């Protein structure tokens, strides 16, 4: 019976090797997700809010809500 010897499997350091690989992968995925969220969601949202508040007149909005009867403590001017 002619048998060839199989190479011994690596038994030490398997967990450390796998963890190193997966931690690097997790860091790359998380940094990529953060980058995509910041420039795909947060920055456009900030720009939209800035554009909205450039021309926003709170007193005009208040008067419109007052006339619509939204507030209980403030009566409409026409009443």
Superfamily of chain region 17-68: Mitochondrial cytochrome c oxidase subunit VIc/VIIs (4.10.93.10)
Predicted local confidence at residue 11, as pLDDT: 81
Place of tokens 């939204």: 70
- Which positions of the chain have pLDDT values less than 50? none
Please state, as a whole number, how many other Cβ atoms lie within 10 Å of the Cβ of residue 40. Answer: 10
Q: How many helices and strands in the chain, by DSSP H and E? A: 3, 0
Confidence (pLDDT) at 43: 98
Domain boundaries, the chain: 17-68
Question: Is the whole model's pTM more than 0.75, yes or no?
Answer: no
Residue with tokens 């209980």: 72
User: What pLDDT does 79 receive?
Assistant: 60
């Amino acid at each position: 019976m002619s048998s060839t010897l199989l190479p011994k499997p690596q038994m030490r350091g398997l967990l450390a090797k796998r963890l190193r690989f997966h931690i690097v992968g997790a860091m790359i995925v998380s940094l990529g997700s953060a980058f995509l969220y910041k420039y795909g969601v947060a920055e456009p949202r900030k720009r939209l809010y800035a554009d909205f508040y450039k021309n926003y007149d709170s007193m005009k909005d208040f008067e419109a809500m007052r006339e619509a009867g939204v507030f209980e403590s403030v009566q409409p001017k026409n009443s």
